Structure 1
Amino acid sequence: MRSRLSIGKLVAVLMAASIFLSGCHHWMKNHSYMDGYSRMDRAGRSDRPPARQGWPKADRAGYTVAMVGKALRIYDAKGREATVDYYNSPESVDGEWYVFIADENNDLIAHPNPDHLGENLMGPLGVDITGYRHGEEIASATAEGKWVDYIFLNPATGNQEYKHTWVVKHDGLIFASGWYQVLPSLALAVTKAQPAEYTVAMVDKALRYYKAHGREAAVAHYNTPESVDGEWYVYIFDENDQLIAHANPDLLGQDLKEGLGLDSTGYHFGTDMLEATAEGLWVHYVFLNPATGAEQTKHSWTVRHDGLLIGSGWYE
């Protein structure tokens, strides 16, 4: 088991990165030029600045929005076939920036990497190395446009990096482009080989899902087998400490303060878990691993958000 000090350092690093990403998303979401482009797209105006002229690359978010705006102009002027052909060509790539297009069935029809053509956003392509299903978020975009953040291969560097993608639905198609960000503190490759980091990423993904879709949808999603990733799953407790989402439906409705929160060694881990705040809390106890069917030591990361406890854990 990792020392409390090392886990504390790990959590501090991951929380700092999570807060940074949330702040970055909040900053981008509230910049007026993004709303402006959405309004101009709907109005069909032709005076939008070209991507390479209207915004400097130093303003990555603005440049990304302009890239998508340019793609919409090409589509409106030249039609679907010509637009798809162009964005499947190397000439359309601008460093780390490129446009990808998905059709009415969420299949990729334009992408600079031909190996991705025909892949569906709801399939493996739409799941990053942390397990986050960003494809679902991209597919839910509207004409208003939305930002979706995830980890993806940067063709300019050959590395897995954080990608901030601006997505707009237009004429039934998904148009998107994004910019990449290197976060050394996350080491970029959060995989199951790093169970503590992967657990924190699972909870962060659940929080993003909750914020994007709301309580009812989040609870429904995390009560499905599809939300389970091997030994990793998300659990949610309501304001009354009742379990409302879990991989094992037999546990739903049980109270964290009662038998559910007591492990086979007699440790009342539920009492400690209830102390979790928005900063997050690690709790270690014995629990049934659904992937093995055996009781094992579980290390759970729990965050309190909007009155709920949302968490996940790993076993050893």
Structure 2
Amino acid sequence: MTTYALYGEIIFPAHEGRQGFKVRRFSEVKIESSWKSLTDTAEIVLPRKVRDFDRMKVSEWFREGDPLEIWLGYDGNLVLEFTGYVKTVPAGIPLLISCEDEMYKLKRNTISVSIKDCKLKQLLQEIAPGYSIVCDDTKLGNVRYSKVSPSQILEDLQKQGIYSWFKNKELHAMGRSQLEEDAVDIQLELTAGESLKQKAIEDTLVIMSLIRKKGKKLIVEVGDKNAGKRLKKEISGIEITEAELKREAEKMYRDAKQPGLDGDITLFGVPRIEHGSKMNLKSTLYPEKDGVYYVDAVTKTVTPPGYTQSCKLGNKTAV
């Protein structure tokens, strides 16, 4: 049997007069990441009795807005799992430090934007200067925002089906997270646990509406009439035709009716998974669960010496 030695480092770079330092002793690290949530978060639990902390006030070591990096791995092979900023530092014992990724910065200033015939990349470069942008050539039409935070603009894009997330210092904005990598083979009987069950395929009606700058609201309906499950989506700020709106509704309907699995699968620290990864599930006891699925969200929890990854599955894919 292969054994691994867990190793981790939390790096606090020098910032605003405070020297940089590393933390290698921690009680727990929990990282939550999803392409649907806008903001990735981390929680770090530190014992109060850590060398040198008692020589200095905790508030002088950890301050709101301080940058940090969380590196995790086995046998000294570390991977950068989280980069972001300290959000809160409670004074209790043990120390619980809450953190947010780069979205932390986009929540804390306001901006006004007015662009005619705007493309997605133009808007993102305007609201998030200094970051690398990864997106497609989606046309947004005329865009106008007045004194709102960049994160509020990204939340507005979500209502149009454009989801945003950071991957370290890269801002991604797409319809979903899908990494161009081979699927990771997972034998369900060898995992730390799973709560997967066949997803119920319900009768579904998609109601999509377009708020036009001039004229009446355009509404299209696609799907099963008298359905108990109704999915509604409202689009504004862009000019598209009724046929284009219907195609969007049809895609949303197909996604909703796609067979798959609900629930979570919990892995140990290897193989490494992130949202957008593909899992090729195999089961000896439950072959009906076999298939290749995208991962929508991952919660990584490290409580030395344990390391688990709780993965929420997304759509099933052919490859």
TM-score by length of 1: 0.24
TM-score by length of 2: 0.24
Q: Which has the higher strand share?
A: 2
